[in-house]
Structure 1
Amino acid sequence: MFFSNQPARLLTELDHIRISKLLQRPGASPQTQAAVDDLIHSAELISSYQVPANVVTMYSQVLMADGHTGEQRKLTLCYPHDADPAAGFVSVLSPVGAGLLGLKMGDTARWPTPDGGTATAKIVEILFQPEESGDYLL
């Protein structure tokens, strides 16, 4: 499995519905689509109004520390149409984005690399979460 040895995931019901519909469209690699499908169907679903502030939801901005170098970087988890990796906007259908979805601050995200390895990064801080700011529909 794509995300084996990952902590349990929390997913808002709205994110679950939107990502499920997104997976019905062509776009991501079959491996990533299958992995994201597994992830959203194994995650614990929660209302957007009840999601803890320390959980990565769609459009959350996180500060991550690379598991190998310790270098920190800000990333925003987004839908494919808003993705701009150079600006730090990563698609939920990318390995990095799928690796972040539903994790909590302090968890370590893992995702496959193109060379067949695994990259890791610790979620140091959640800088912005839409639900925490009162935006339950973003």
Structure 2
Amino acid sequence: MLHTHSIVVSTLDMDRISSLMDKMPKLSPELLRLEDELDRATIKEPQEIPPGVVSMNSTVRFKFQGKDEIMEKHLVYPHEVKSNDDISIFAPVGSALLGLSAGQTLSWPMPGGSEKVIEIIEVTYQPEREGRYDL
């Protein structure tokens, strides 16, 4: 497993994600991996989140290593997915994005048992950077 990062998660995001996961009768292997990542995350108050970290409601540009295509997605909670521009925190790629910063990579399991290395290019919007500590 490739770890070239440590992740940073806000107390607000941690509380909301944990609450949603606690309500699930059973966690998929991908969500168990997210739970493991959250267990080892550095937790900070929203006002202390570094400006380049992917937090909930951030918009992030990323790609899969070995591919040229750069994608841009808005990381949201499952009930907030409204378009193809949104990605749920509970989707495999969404789970992998949380807490990373530009230039960091992470190998993450995908449906069907494969693993892909995700590389963060840029966090184009982050609520905390804009003074939005309530999103």
TM-score by length of 2: 0.90
Which segments of 5 or more consecutive residues in structure 1 lack a partner in the other structure?
none
1:80 aligns with 2:78: yes
Distance 1:65 1:96 in 2: 10
Which amino acid in the other structure matches residue 62 of structure 1? V
Matched positions, count: 134
Distance 1:90 1:49 in 2: 24
TM-score by length of 1: 0.88
8 Å Cα contact 1:58-1:78 kept in structure 2: yes
Which amino acid in the other structure matches residue 41 of structure 2? A
Which amino acid in the other structure matches residue 129 of structure 1? Q
Q: Which residue of 2 aligns with 1:66?
A: 64
Q: Which residue of 1 aligns with 2:118?
A: 121
Q: Which residue of 1 aligns with 2:43?
A: 45
Distance 1:56 1:28 in 2: 26
Which amino acid in the other structure matches residue 51 of structure 1? I
8 Å Cα contact 1:99-1:111 kept in structure 2: yes
Q: Deviations over 1:60-84 (max 9, x none)?
A: 1011123121211101111011125
Deviates more, 1:91-100 or 1:107-116: 107-116
Q: Residues 123 and 27 (structure 1 numbering): CA distance in 2 closer, same or farther, change over 3 Å?
A: farther
Which amino acid in the other structure matches residue 124 of structure 2? L
Secondary structure of 1:37's counterpart equals: helix
Secondary structure of 2:67's counterpart equals: coil
Q: Deviations over 1:5-62 (max 9, x none)?
A: 3321101011111111010122885212211221111100011101111100001101
1:99 aligns with 2:96: yes
Q: Deviations over 1:107-131 (max 9, x none)?
A: 1133212232111231111100000
In percent, how many aligned pairs have the same letter? 31
Q: Residues 29 and 68 (structure 1 numbering): CA distance in 2 closer, same or farther, change over 3 Å?
A: farther
